[in-house]
């Protein structure tokens, strides 16, 4: 006989850790080549100059410099400028 009554699967869910998404390096901060700027689901932020997008939509630096966030045609753009 079951010890818990009529709760089914809701009581059996395991507590999973978060996936640590979000902005890792903010605007006007220095960055090195290959460092991750943003981890995201989908393209909330788009790649500008000096950055690339990975297959899981991660944005990372292609050259050293300073991170810059701005909007262009209603889209959020991330780029790395020399500095």
pLDDT, tens digit (0-9, with 9 covering 90-100), for 11-53: 667 888 999 999 999 999 999 999 999 999 999 999 999 999 9
**According to the model, what pLDDT value does residue 8 have?**
63
- On whether residue 8 sits in a domain, the answer given is no
Q: Is residue 7 scored above 90 in pLDDT?
A: no
Q: How many domains does the chain have?
A: 1
Count Cβ atoms below 10 Å from residue 33 Cβ, excluding itself. Answer: 12
- On whether residue 57 sits in a domain, the answer given is yes
List the CATH number of the domain containing 37: 2.40.50.100
- On whether residue 17 sits in a domain, the answer given is no
- Contact status, residue 38 vs residue 48, Cβ threshold 8 Å: no
11 phi-psi bin (left φ>0, alpha ψ -120 to 50, beta other): alpha
**According to the model, what pLDDT value does residue 23 have?**
97
Q: Is residue 69 scored above 80 in pLDDT?
A: yes
- On whether residue 13 sits in a domain, the answer given is no
- On whether residue 37 sits in a domain, the answer given is yes
- On whether residue 56 sits in a domain, the answer given is yes
**According to the model, what pLDDT value does residue 14 have?**
81
| Domain extent at residue 31 | 22-81
């Amino acid at each position: 006989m079951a010890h818990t009554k009529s709760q089914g699967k809701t009581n059996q869910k395991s507590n999973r850790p978060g996936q640590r998404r979000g902005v890792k390096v903010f605007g006007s901060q220095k960055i090195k080549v290959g460092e991750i700027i943003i981890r995201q689901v989908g393209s909330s932020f788009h790649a500008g100059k000096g950055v690339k997008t990975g297959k899981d939509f991660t944005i990372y630096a292609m050259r050293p410099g300073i991170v810059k966030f701005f909007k262009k045609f209603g889209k959020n753009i991330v780029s790395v400028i020399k500095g």
